[in-house]
């Protein structure tokens, strides 16, 4: 912001310069859409996340993506007709994102939609995720 602009205003910054301002282009805004209710658990052989998504067609209404240890589920639920119908379900775009444990394998993912529940299973990376490093005494190293 220029010094002239600062001199013209009582405040020291424009609204769009404030961190978190909806007018700011410097700070990412949360993704649009209603959150999807979910549960997650770490099992011995798999990491499992279940999403409550009744009444959807998995072929056309669901999108599941995994990358860089982030699982994203996006769904589209069309509005119910007639307008006088009352519903507790969210309509429009639904979206939830889960940060996965570092030990999960983004290449080993399976998703199944059954009885209104989307279940996403992710494998664990093979082999140890940590290893022990032998510490040498300085006199032993040279």
d(CA 67, CA 62): 17
Where do the domains of the chain lie?
Answer: 1-30, 31-126
Partners of 102 in beta bridges = none
Q: What is the pLDDT of residues 29-86, one digit of tens each?
A: 445 678 999 999 998 889 999 999 998 899 999 999 999 999 999 999 876 655 666 6
- Report yes or no: 75 and 111 within 8 Å, Cβ to Cβ: no
pLDDT of residue 123: 94
Please state the length of the chain. Answer: 142
Mean pLDDT, rounded, of the chain: 76
Average pLDDT over residues 94-103: 93
Per CATH, the number for 31-126 is 2.60.40.790
- Report yes or no: 63 and 79 within 8 Å, Cβ to Cβ: no
What does the buried/exposed string (b/e) look like for 46-78 if buried means 16 or more CB atoms within 10 Å of the residue's CB? bbebbbebeebeeeebbebebeeeebebbbbbe
pTM, rounded to two decimals: 0.63
pLDDT at 10 over 50: no
Six token digits for residue 91 = 């309509």
Six token digits for residue 139 = 């006199």
């Amino acid at each position: 912001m220029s010094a002239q602009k600062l001199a013209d205003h009582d405040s020291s910054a424009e609204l769009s310069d404030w961190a978190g301002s909806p007018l700011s282009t410097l700070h990412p805004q949360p993704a649009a859409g209603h959150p999807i209710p979910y549960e997650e658990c770490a099992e011995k052989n798999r990491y499992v996340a279940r999403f409550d998504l009744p009444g959807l067609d998995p072929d056309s209404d669901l999108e599941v993506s995994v990358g860089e240890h982030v699982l994203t589920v996006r769904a589209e639920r069309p509005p119910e007709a007639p307008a006088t119908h009352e519903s507790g379900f969210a309509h429009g775009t639904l979206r939830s994102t889960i940060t996965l444990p570092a030990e999960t394998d983004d290449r080993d993912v399976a998703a199944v939609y059954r009885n209104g529940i989307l279940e996403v299973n992710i494998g664990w990376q093979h082999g140890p995720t940590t290893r022990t490093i032998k510490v040498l005494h300085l006199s032993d190293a040279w």
